[in-house]
Amino acid sequence: MFVLVNLKAYDCDPVAIARAAHDVSEESGTRVAVAPQTAQLGAVAETGVETWAQHVSPSAHGSHTGSALAEAAADAGASGTLLNHSERRLRLADIDNALDAGEAGLDVVVCANNRAQCKAVAALGPDAVAIEPPELIGGDESVSTADPDVVREAVDAVSEIDEGIDVFCGAGVSTGEDVAAASNLGASGVLLASGVAKADDPEGVLRDLVSPIE
């Protein structure tokens, strides 16, 4: 089970959370990664935690002011990137172009809202698809418990395209029970944000998240 923590643009200490995530990962043997703001990729990577970019642009080297190149993220220490999060939507053609991030050595997780989107993005060949109904993002209820059929349908849809593509469960994940429920529904990872980034005790939340995996 993979735990990917997206810090978004929350007012939190990314390095402190990264250190906690690294310690929890080392002690539990669970794969835990942190996705900070682009400017903080290097500082987070220096903690030794697996580091992901929140987004990379569908562009290569050239006159693309303001873009976030996959190569630059990799050079800063990222080993993976999110694409098409509900808060950073891309057109299908742009997702296809951004998947060239794999050529920079980055793993790629593409977010999707429903079965149809999961099937469409899976056909592009990412490493994983994350199912995230937008109405549950940032809420108190996890998609794995609020609407488990959404996860089952996502797993089935992606498997129809390529059984080698992982499916992650996002939106509202915040506890070890959510992680266990996601696993039971066929997900191989979870994607979460506020549950850790806005917590008074991020390390405690991380330890609870991995507890059913140990």
Burial 144-173, CB ≥16 within 10 A → b, else e: bbebbebbbbbbebbeebeeebbbbbbbbb
Burial 32-64, CB ≥16 within 10 A → b, else e: bbbbbebebbebbbebebbbbbbbbbbbeeeee
Give 132's DSSP letter: -
Structural element, H or E, at residue 32: strand 31-35
* 87 given a catalytic annotation: no
- Which of the residues 50, 55, 132, 153 is marked catalytic? 132
Closest CA to 210 of 186, 184, 190: 190
CA dihedral 162, 33, 170, 84 (to 10 degrees): -70
* 85 given a catalytic annotation: yes
- Which of the residues 85, 103, 163, 177 is marked catalytic? 85
Q: Catalytic amino acids?
A: 85, 132
